[in-house]
Amino acid sequence: MSLRKPRPGLSRRDMVLALAVGGVGITQVGRVEAAPMQRGAPYVLADFFKPDRTRGVAMSPSGTRIAVVEQLGTTEAPHAVVDVLDAADPEGQARRIDLGPIDVERVYWGNDRRLLIRVVTKLEIGRRTSAGSNIRTGGGELWNRRIVSIDIDSGARVTLFEGERSRARGNLDLGQIVDLLPRDPDHVLMLAYEPGGFLALYRADINDGTAERLERGNSGTFRWDTLNGQAVLRHDINARGTLESVYARAPGQTEWTLVRRTRFIDAPDFSFVGGTDRPGVVLVSARTGEEDVETIRELDLATLAFGPPISAKAGRDVLYGLRDSAGRYLGAAYYGDRLEYAFAEPALAAHHRALNRFFEDDCDVYFTDVDVSRNRLIARVTGPREPGAWYFYDRAAQRIVNVGARQDLDPARLGPGEVLKVRTRDGAEIEAYLTAPPSRRPGPLVVLAHGGPEARDMRNWDRQAQVLAAQGWWVLQPNFRGSGGYGLAFAKQGWGRWGDRMQEDVEDAVAHAISARGLDGRRVAIMGTSYGGYAAMMGAVKTPGLYRAAISICGVSDLPDILEWEKRQDDSPGQEIFDFWSKRIGVLGVDDDRLSAASPRRRVAEIACPVFLVHGTDDPIVPVTQTRRLNAALRDAGKRVEFVEVNDAGHADWEDDKEQELMGRYVALLTRAFA
């Protein structure tokens, strides 16, 4: 048995025990003393790379129990426990279940009695894998994932697929739960690969670990969406992994029918949300026709007809649909000044506003679990100074309890963030996020450009930004035109404008931040990943007098070359992916002069600042040749350049130890540049 204690952190700032917003009062329990904010020394680099402590929090469907998974060991010697709390007395004694020397990735409730824990083990070279698998490795690192089902009353444990040794023997990943099946508390739906590499959908018994196959996909199938235990949407992907084909099957039908194709990586615009009260009709998130924003709407599985938007927010694409533990639709999530919900149940809106106010409107409050009565909720909270914490909220009792946290980082020693509304040189308006150093004192500025480019930054936890802020630097993250999340019209304003309008928006955001906060305009640097790496290098080309250093991570450097590569690689029907990029970057044979002028590799003579380049050797998104050729061009031109190739890594997907090493080198370069 163990007693959970409240975590000191963001919520301790003013120690307000009661808060009323819109008629909703919240009382926080478990705190006994005030702790005024006192700034200490900024954190050092290693502090940002400590392993996460809380690995997951989940509430049982009825809302009576809360499971909190904690990783107590080290990276080299992992050890996990799960604490089960009584939701009626979450500050009371918890039952601790020792999971042993394992790494845990996630926790679910199969029903009100059984916990499902996704565990991961690293396979040693040449050793037989665990959990019944006979896979042997010849080199490198492999990871083995399984779901362990635990009866929290008796302590009995079983590994799902435990009795299916032929399945376990051929799978490194048997940890993918598709559907928790609220109406069938003894089973879950899971994915498993069949011999020959075909994915199958299984119903697994969480009591004894047995499983039966329900569906078998084709060579490209990678997921199903299900409703009441039946597959209703199937997702296939091309060999390159860039284009997703979505198929539907109405109840009673046997054949699958194509609904649409959508990009898998870049600007996807379709996802499953859940069921409705009408048989054969589901909720999806989609943009149809020439609509500007992506919204929640109905999809008739038989006719494939989309209904009108259920809720639409001008200039904001929907992020996802929220459901309760019974699978019923609760509302749509958007990103405005922070995370917002358009609730189908209006009463929930006041509670979300109250929680935002409780965290001083400084965090994003995500509802991750809502019980069947919609009274008790789990909220995951993240913000510029909050790396992630979980809170239990009881509407009827009007109280909130901190039940877990990723890391113990004092917000007083972290950099606060703010939203800037930037007027561009042509009269448009964009948003940018500015993170101050913990001291708040004016100083150098680092531009951190996002990738995509049809992605976006949000005002929440960003480890890179906080590492840079800890050095005493300000960090600017502009959502330039061409970014995603603001609707199609906003994204289209960046199409064909790589190197000019999109770059000018970054420059205008820099000028705004320097003017608004009195920063040192003589000490500015720029860095980014993927498209952000391109923006960093193009910034060094276009405004050599502005940037003191440029860091490109897995970045594009030559637009004609990347388009030619996309054309050669594209295996999608009608070369849809190549067409996607041609619309956004430019048309080969038509825009060649503009494309060449917007290619940093072809303009290295204009770069004046030191450059740092990083690329994964196995990058499937931007080939490493883009950076190798840029590095060669810079060296031939006599420029100052460092180049790191990360072996056996893809598109900036390396492990934390490598990221920590690289961040140390970025900081060293910027320190020299700002000296």
Kindly state the percentage of the chain with pLDDT values over 70.
90
Rounded distance between C-alpha atoms, residue 537 and residue 639, angstroms:
13
Provide mean pLDDT across the span 69-76.
Answer: 86
Q: Which of 8-22, 297-311, 454-468, 547-561 has the lowest mean pLDDT?
A: 8-22
Provide mean pLDDT across the span 574-594.
Answer: 95
**Does the pLDDT of residue 333 top 80, yes or no?**
yes
**Does the pLDDT of residue 100 top 50, yes or no?**
yes
**Which has the higher per-residue pLDDT, 374 or 37?**
374
445 has which bridge partners? 474, 524
Provide mean pLDDT across the span 486-490.
Answer: 97
**Does the pLDDT of residue 32 top 50, yes or no?**
no
pLDDT for position 131: 37
CB-side exposure of 239: number of CA atoms within 13 Å? Answer: 5
**Does the pLDDT of residue 306 top 60, yes or no?**
yes
Q: Which of 34-38, 212-216, 267-271, 280-284 has the lowest mean pLDDT?
A: 34-38
Q: Domain extents for the chain?
A: 2-232+336-343+360-405, 415-558+599-674
**Does the pLDDT of residue 264 top 90, yes or no?**
no
Among 500, 433, 445, CA closest to 471: 445
546-568 per-position pLDDT tens digit? 999 999 999 999 999 999 999 99
pLDDT for position 124: 52
**Does the pLDDT of residue 122 top 80, yes or no?**
no
**Does the pLDDT of residue 410 top 90, yes or no?**
yes
Q: Which of 169-183, 315-329, 433-447 has the lowest mean pLDDT?
A: 169-183
Query: Over the Cα atoms of the chain, what is R_g?
Result: 25
CB-side exposure of 185: number of CA atoms within 13 Å? Answer: 12
Kindly state the percentage of the chain with pLDDT values over 90.
81
Provide mean pLDDT across the span 65-72.
Answer: 95
Rounded distance between C-alpha atoms, residue 238 and residue 245, angstroms:
8
415-558+599-674: CATH topology: Rossmann fold (3.40.50)
Q: How many CB atoms lie within 10 A of CB 7?
A: 19
The amino acid that residue 539 corresponds to is: G
Among 630, 477, 432, CA closest to 540: 630
pLDDT for position 171: 73
258: left (phi over 0), alpha (psi -120 to 50) or beta: beta
pLDDT for position 197: 83
The amino acid that residue 213 corresponds to is: R
pLDDT for position 672: 97
Q: What is the mean pLDDT of the chain?
A: 90
pLDDT for position 272: 97
**Which has the higher per-residue pLDDT, 116 or 197?**
116
460-484 per-position pLDDT tens digit? 999 999 999 999 999 999 999 999 9
**26 falls in which pLDDT band (50, 70, 90)?**
low
**17 falls in which pLDDT band (50, 70, 90)?**
very low
Rounded distance between C-alpha atoms, residue 509 and residue 478, angstroms:
7
**Does the pLDDT of residue 8 top 50, yes or no?**
no
Provide mean pLDDT across the span 47-55.
Answer: 94
Tell me the DSSP string of 192-253: EEPTTS-EEEEEEETTT--EEEEEE--TTEEEEEEETTEEEEEEEE-TTS-EEEEEE--TT-
**Does the pLDDT of residue 166 top 80, yes or no?**
no
pLDDT for position 133: 34
Provide mean pLDDT across the span 566-573.
Answer: 92
Among 417, 487, 475, 480, CA closest to 443: 475
Provide mean pLDDT across the span 13-36.
Answer: 42
pLDDT for position 7: 39
193-231 per-position pLDDT tens digit? 988 889 999 999 999 999 999 999 999 999 999 999 999
pLDDT for position 77: 86
**Does the pLDDT of residue 74 top 90, yes or no?**
no
**Does the pLDDT of residue 137 top 50, yes or no?**
no
pLDDT for position 328: 94
pLDDT for position 73: 78
For the packed helices 559-569 and 576-584, what is the interaxial angle rounded to 10 degrees? 160
pLDDT for position 289: 85
Chain-centroid distance of CA 354 in Å reads: 25
**398 falls in which pLDDT band (50, 70, 90)?**
confident
pLDDT for position 330: 96
Give the predicted TM-score (pTM) of the model.
0.91
490-503 per-position pLDDT tens digit? 999 999 999 999 99
445-449/474-479 β-pairing: parallel
